[in-house]
Chains A and B, each alone.
Chain A
Amino acid sequence: MLKYLIRRLLYAIPILIGVNLITFALFFMVNTPDDMARIHLGAKQTTPEMIAAWKQAHGYDKPLFFNGNAEGLDTLTDTLFFQQSVRLFTFDFGLSDSGRDIGADIQQRMWPSLALALPTFLLGLWVNITLALVAVLFRYSRVDKTALVAAVLLMSISGLFYIIGGQVLFSKVLHWVPISGYQPGADAWRFLILPVLIGVFAGLGAGLRWYRTLFLEEVNKDYVRTARAKGLSEWRTLSRHVLRNGLLPILTGVVVVIPTLFMGSLVMESFFGIPGLGSYTIEAIQGQDFAIVKAMVFLGAVLYIAGLILTDIAYAWADPRVRFK
């Protein structure tokens, strides 16, 4: 297993270089360093001297991938791509183009993101699986059909509707919870309860249908029939046997997202005023802050790769037949 993990980690290096290469190419295809300088300087009148000084201060005065004025290895290393990529691999994200330390910002912002994303994820998983099992329990009955129709309806409505509707109902009309905001520490639950419930509710339709389909595939298999023949109740059969055997496809979709929970949710955090990482990348793209963009894309890729490796490990844990080669 260790060998397998090392091999997977080594595979990650060319993938990350590739991701980085694409990020650089795409970003600078749309924005030139001069454009970035103008946006960051924010002055009504930007002079060539101001632009040149800004580019020099931020290292954007170098060629992107190939330095024709340099010699030998410097043609590749004395470039924007090389200079700005190498540090990423040591997780030194450096300073943003507006001068803030990116690592410090990520550390500060990831906890509120996690405080929102983790309960939403866990509660959502539990609710979706439970309701899917209930739907399978009453399969093909009126209860099941009603649940299916409701699921389709829930899926058809925009997430924004749940957010604004929830804010209006629970905060504006009923005055139960703050409409938006955040407090660190023990008081955080007052601010998280509404976005978490809305997050769970918004994902209910798709989750219910997906898990119901998975469990229905299992429910007619021989081992289930055997369990029933042993005299187990239907609920016990579902929760003990069907759920466990349905875990593999669930793990595929679930474990891979666990590391990326740090990255936060753009819409939920914006509407509920949660000071997380959700909007960090978007704001950086809008503000043409390439230092943040490349750091966040890199981090996202690392977390995704970590998620895939975790999924593989989870497979082996859930199904002893799976072996690493």
Chain B
Amino acid sequence: MGLAGCHIPWNDPYPAGTTAKPILLRAFSAPPKHLDPVMSYSSNEWGIISQIYEPPLQYAYLKQPYTLEPLTLTRMPDVRYLNEKGQETTRDRAAFSEYTLHLRGDVRYQPHPAFLAPNRELSAERIAQLTTPYELPTGSRALTADDYAYAIKRMGVRAYQSPILDTMMAHIVGLKKYSENVSQAYEKLKETRSGGGFFDLRPYAIEGVQVVDTQTLKIRIKGVYPQFLYWLSMNFFAPIAWEVDAFYSQPGMKEKNLSLDTWPVGTGPYMLVENNPNFRMRLMPNPNFHAESYPCEASEGVSRALLDDCDQPLPRNGGVLYTLEKESVPYWNKFMQGYYDASGVSSDAFDQAVQLSSSGNIGLTPIMQEKGIRFLGGVQPTIMYFGFNMVDPVIGGLGENQRALRQAVSIALNMEEYISIFLNGRGVAAQGPLPPGIFGYEPPPVGINPFVYRWENGQLVRRSLDEARALLEKAGYANGIDPATGKPLKLYFEAVGASPDDQARLAWLRKQFAKLGIDLVIRATDYNRFQDKMRQGKGQIFMWGWNADYPDPENFLFLLYGKNGVVATGGNGVNYANYANPEFDRLFEQMQTLPNGPERLRMIRTMVHIVQQDAPWVFGFYPRALALYHHWYHNAWPNMMANNTTKYLRVDAAERVERIRQWNEPNRSALWIGLAALLGMGAGAIWLYRRRQQQRAREEGGSC
């Protein structure tokens, strides 16, 4: 322990001096699989690569509702509408939409060896010696429109596994044809070059993607698709320099885990300088990062303290150190010791951290307040729902009886109770398919689901079980009895997993149905089989969720669009309830291309009312995210759509060091007592042994 004295406090888990640097100390619970923007689509991966890559647009940090703004562009893209002949026309007659992107001239790539030509022709021996790319000399260059085009071209190579290729093929002109050609060429190249090699995409062209000059890019899409702007804020559209692709394609690189999937190269505020996904990842500020400053505008409701750093240069911190923390107990304890700047609240730690007032408001416990810990909460743009399979003969269909049955179940499934028991209050009971923050969401009383709730004395009141029973009777199942069998109606719930936690949820669910006299049968299975059942439309009732890709109502309402039915599309749709209402579908087709405005809102209201009445889902809940952060952690704001928010955060490292020192003073006296006890036990054993030996000698002497 003498050596530990050199490292104060003794329980500091970082190399000496780390906590004194103005860096963010974060944890990640699962190693990210992909850091290549062409294929990465998980939130934990985007949490990292969004700090490195820069798509053309980003979400304004402090604005609500979610608002896009230029990131590497001089202004928002210009949109022109064109007819079949390519002539400009009005929006409502458009056969194509053309987006023109004007790039800033001051954006440069992070330092990287790929930008030096000799590094793209390394010998096998040199590559074999490398552990990181940064062991080689580095260079940089300015961002050009070609890099954005190159990223779209990479998306088109089927073998690169872009999860949005099929979606984008439906929109970007010529992408489908390009993808077929380039994918074939790629396969041919793979056959001829078994050791890999650079597949140069520059000679290939996509009809709808045109590089006008180094700073201007045009993308032509089919028809009118205003949601395309949201896609332009995602990492799939982040620029990729061909030099980087060429560098990592050198034979032997992949065997050293050196690839775009492990060592990203972007123009963003940070660069990844350490990548051991099983241990630690480290971001350092990109020295070539272009001028960008902290926002000076915030929407109403945003704390004015968040504008203290107005106009200050970004990033506001000196980097990020991510440490893998698989278990929640050590993660929580290290947060409480000050070794992580922020933490979520696991159910184990919930009571220690949070107290709920009688009105359901969330507050911190005195222990948290004493430590100066603060919290941020926000409703996520996510919906969790219980779906009914609308092609099921018992529970599905748009007939009056089936509708009444689903409405009765919707009333009986008490989501407020579910949120209270299983989410510690971290959720909002859903009234419809659109969560807060998405255009078209309207809080009660306007947005109330009148088939499940009533508005009484300014409060939302769930309809009574008697009303549910009346609906059940109307459906032909009086008191829950199935007239065909004379026994309680049997319904089937498709469940994933059967852990103790799951068991509690399933028991609760059975109880909810039992309130109506319905016998709910749980069919538990693994995730693969569950998905198979869903794709084949064999399930009856199931639980599912959807997290917004972008903050547009289309991204939620398309989950109920008939042409997206999972059965109708042979397993490729996202409408797992197989809901198909012609009126809803007609309105959806009109609504999806309209700009946000009164007309769109009117349509959405009607659509929401239709699904509330048809009840293909029990609208479950919108989860509420809750994050705790220390007093030294500044500028935190829950923008649920933005992923590149690390650059805004600031830490007061001096305060962090001081607090950590106060909270982690080692207990030296206990150490001495422990050592003395060990020595005492050893001495006692020796004394006992000697006494026993002498006693035996005496006994043996006596017997002689």
Contact = CB atoms under 8 A, between A and B. Distances in A.
A191 interface: yes
B333 interface: yes
A109 B671 CA distance: 33
A301 interface: no
Contact of A279 (B13, B326, B549, B685): B326
Interface in B308-364: 323-327, 329-330, 333-334, 336-337
A279 B326 CA distance: 10
A296 to B, nearest CB: 14
A26 interface: no
Interface-centre pick from B257, B526, B665 (highest chain A CB count, 10 A)? B257
Interface in B572-596: 572-574
Contacts of A233: 693
Interface string A178-194: 11111100010111000
B257 A104 contact: yes
Interface string B7-32: 10111111100000000000000010
Contacts of A191: 13
A275 interface: yes
A167 B337 CA distance: 13
Given A137-B689, A143-B688, A271 B330 contact: yes
Contacts of A35: 528, 531
A239 to B, nearest CB: 12
Nearest to A267: B327
Contacts of B42: 42
Contacts of B255: 101, 103-104
Chain A interface residue number, banded: 35 or more
A179 B13 contact: yes
B90 interface: no
A275 B276 contact: yes
A49 interface: yes
Contact of A176 (B11, B279, B280, B326): B11
A275 B324 contact: yes
Given A53-B159, A57-B159, A99-B259, A31 B528 contact: yes
Given A31-B528, A177-B11, A275-B279, A50 B165 contact: yes
A167 B33 contact: no
Contact of B15 (A54, A168, A183): A183
B12 A271 contact: no
Given A45-B167, A270-B326, A179 B574 contact: no
A219 B171 CA distance: 84
B403 interface: no
A32 B693 CA distance: 69
Nearest to B187: A56
B13 A174 contact: no
Given A42-B163, A50-B165, A98-B33, A179 B664 contact: no
Given A104-B255, A138-B688, A138-B692, A176 B161 contact: no
Given A47-B572, A48-B572, A104-B255, A271 B163 contact: no
A172 B688 contact: no
A273 B323 contact: yes
Contacts of B262: 100
B41 interface: yes
Contacts of A179: 11, 13, 330, 333-334, 337
Interface string A3-40: 00000000000000000000000000011100100101
A131 B400 CA distance: 77
A41 interface: yes
Given A44-B574, A273-B324, A180 B163 contact: no
Contacts of B546: 44
Contacts of B570: 48
A43 interface: yes
Given A45-B572, A182-B279, A57 B666 contact: no
B67 interface: no
Interface of B: 1, 3-4, 7, 9-15, 31, 33-34, 41-42, 158-159, 161, 163-167, 183, 254-257, 259, 261-262, 276, 278-280, 323-327, 329-330, 333-334, 336-337, 526, 528, 531, 546, 549, 570, 572-574, 664-667, 670-671, 685, 688-689, 692-693, 696
Interface of A: 30-32, 35, 38, 40-50, 53-54, 56-57, 95, 98-101, 103-105, 108-109, 112, 134, 137-138, 141, 143, 164, 167-168, 171-183, 187, 189-191, 233-235, 270-273, 275, 279, 283, 287
Given A43-B164, A176-B671, 19 more contacts: A35-B531, A44-B41, A49-B158, A50-B163, A53-B158, A53-B159, A100-B262, A104-B257, A112-B279, A141-B692, A174-B666, A174-B670, A180-B334, A182-B279, A190-B10, A191-B13, A273-B323, A275-B278, A275-B280
Query: Nearest 9 pairs between A and B by C-beta?
Result: A43-B163, A181-B13, A275-B279, A178-B13, A180-B330, A35-B528, A53-B158, A98-B33, A174-B667
